Structure 1
Amino acid sequence: MVILIAYFQVNPFISIFSLSVILALVSGMAPGDVVKSFETGVGNTLGHIAIVIALGTMLGAMLAESGGAEQIAVTLIRIFGARNTHWAMMFIGFIVGLPVFFEVGFVLLIPIAFNVARRTGTSMLMVGLPMVAGLSVVHGLIPPHPAALLAVQAYQADIGKTILFGIIIGLPVAALAGPIFARFISSRIEIDENNPIAEALVKKSDPSRQLPSFSVTMLTILLPVILMLVGSWADLLIPGKNVGNATLHFLGNTDIALLLGVLLSFITLGTMRGFTSDMILHFTTDCLAPTAAITLLVGAGGGFGRILIDSGISKVIVDMALGAHVSVLLLAWLLAAMIRIATGSATVAMATAANIVAPLAAQAPGTHPELLVLATGAGALILSHVNDGGFWLVKQYFNMTVPQTFRTWTIVETIISIAALILVQGAALVLG
Structure 2
Amino acid sequence: MRDTLVLAASKTSGPWTTHDTRLIIAAVAGIALVVLLIAAFSVHPFLALVAGSALTGFAAGVGSADIISNFEDGVGSTLMEVGLLIALGAMLGKLLAESGGADKVVDTLVDRSGPRLLPWTIGLVAVIVALPMFFEIGLVLMLPVIVLVTKKSGLPLMRVAIPALAGLSALHGLIPPHPGPLIAIGFLHAQLGITLAFGIVVAIPTVIICGPLFSIVAARWVPVEGPESAGGVDTSRAASGDVARPPSFGVTLATILFPVVLMLAKALADIVWDSDMTQPVRVVLDFVGEPLVALFLAVVLASVTFGYAVGFDSRQISDRIGASLPPIAGILLIVGAGGGFKQTLIGAGVGDTIGKAANDSGVSILVIAWLLAAAIRLATGSATVATTTAAGIIAPLVAHGQSDSHLALIALAVGTGSLIFSHVNDAGFWLVNQSFKLTVGQTFKTWSVMETLLSVVGFGFVSLLWVVV
The TM-score range, normalised by the shorter chain, is: over 0.9
**What RMSD over aligned residues (CA atoms) do the two structures have, in Å?**
1.8
Aligned twin of 2:302: 265
CA distance in 2, matches of 1:52, 1:68: 21
Is 1:404 the counterpart of 2:404? The answer is no
Which has the larger displacement, 118-127 or 204-213?
204-213
Q: Which amino acid aligns with 1:328?
A: I
* Structure 2 residue aligned with 1:312: 349
Paired position in structure 1 for 2:377: 340
Aligned position for 1:419 = 457
Distance 1:72 1:196, change over 3 A: closer
Give the Cα separation in 1 of the matches to 2:297 and 2:97: 18
Q: Is structure 2 residue 200 aligned with structure 1 residue 155? A: no
Counterpart pick for 1:179 among 192, 201, 212: 212
1:227 aligns with 2:265: no
C-alpha displacement of 1:188:
2.9
Residue of structure 2 equivalent to 1:297: 334
Whole-angstrom CA distance in 1 between matches of 2:101 and 2:194: 37
Question: What residue ranges of structure 2 are gaps of 5+ in the alignment?
Answer: 1-33
Distance 2:144 2:393 in 1: 40
Does the CA-based 8 Å contact 1:192-1:400 persist in structure 2? no
1:388 is aligned to 426
> 1:241 is matched with which residue?
277
CA distance in 2: counterparts of 1:101 and 1:206, whole angstroms? 29
Q: Tell me, yes or no, if the aligned pair for 2:147 and 2:230 is still in contact at 8 Å.
A: no
Larger CA deviation: 323-332 vs 142-151: 323-332
Structure 2 residue identity aligned to 1:233: L
CA pair 58-170 structure 1, distance change in 2 beyond 3 A: same
The DSSP-based 3-state class of the residue aligned with 1:186 is helix
Superposition deviation, residue 79 in structure 1: 2.4
Q: Is 1:4 the equivalent of 2:28?
A: no
Q: After superposition, what is the alpha-carbon deviation per residue over 1:103-136, rounded to whole angstroms, capped at 9, x for unaligned?
A: 0000001111111101111111111111001100
Equivalent runs, 1:5-404 vs 2, <5 Å: 5-191=38-224, 195-197=228-230, 200-202=233-235, 204-205=237-238, 211-238=246-273, 240-242=276-278, 243-363=280-400, 365-366=402-403, 368-404=406-442
Give the drift of 1:206: 6.4
- Secondary structure of the structure 2 residue equivalent to 1:350: helix
Greater shift, 165-174 or 100-109, is seen at: 165-174
Which segment drifts farther, 203-212 or 184-193?
203-212
Contact (CA 8 Å) 1:195, 1:399: kept in 2 or not? no
Counterpart code for 2:303: F
CA displacement 1:402-421 (0-9 Å, x = unmatched): 00000000000000000001
State which drifts further: 96-105 or 167-176.
167-176
Given the two structures, how large is their TM-score scaled by the length of structure 2? 0.88
Which residues of structure 1 form unaligned runs of 5+?
A: none
Taking the aligned partners of 1:392 and 1:207, their CA distance within structure 2 comes to 30
Aligned equivalents of 2:353, 2:458: Cα separation in 1: 26
Cα distance in structure 2, aligned partners of 1:2 and 1:402: 8
| Number of residue pairs the alignment of both structures matches | 431
User: Would you say the 8 A contact 1:114–1:202 is kept in 2?
Assistant: yes
Q: Distance in 1 between matches of 2:432 and 2:232?
A: 16
TM-score (norm 1): 0.95
Amino acid in the other structure paired with 1:354: A
Distance 2:239 2:385 in 1: 46
| Partner SS for 2:398 | helix
Distance 2:240 2:143 in 1: 23
SS of 2:221's equivalent?
A: coil
Query: How far is 1:270 from its partner?
Result: 0.8
Q: Is the 8 A contact 2:350 2:380 kept in 1?
A: no
Q: Distance in 2 between matches of 1:225 and 1:393?
A: 20
User: Shift in Å at residue 364 of structure 1?
Assistant: 6.5
1:184-218 superposed Cα distances (whole Å, 9 cap, x missing partner)? 12123233655332783425236997531121111
Equivalent pairs: percent with the same residue?
42
SS of alignment partner, residue 407 of structure 1: helix
The residue aligned with 2:28 is: none
- Greater shift, 358-367 or 337-346, is seen at 358-367
Q: Please list the CA deviations of residues 61-99 of structure 1 after superposition, one character each: whole Å capped at 9, or x if unmatched.
A: 111011111111111122221221011111111111011
Deviates more, 1:153-162 or 1:191-200: 191-200
Please list the CA deviations of residues 139-198 of structure 1 after superposition, one character each: whole Å capped at 9, or x if unmatched: 000111112112112222222222221111111111111111111121232336553327
- More displaced stretch, 420-429 vs 78-87: 78-87
Cα distance in 1, alignment partners of residues 237 and 112 from structure 2: 22
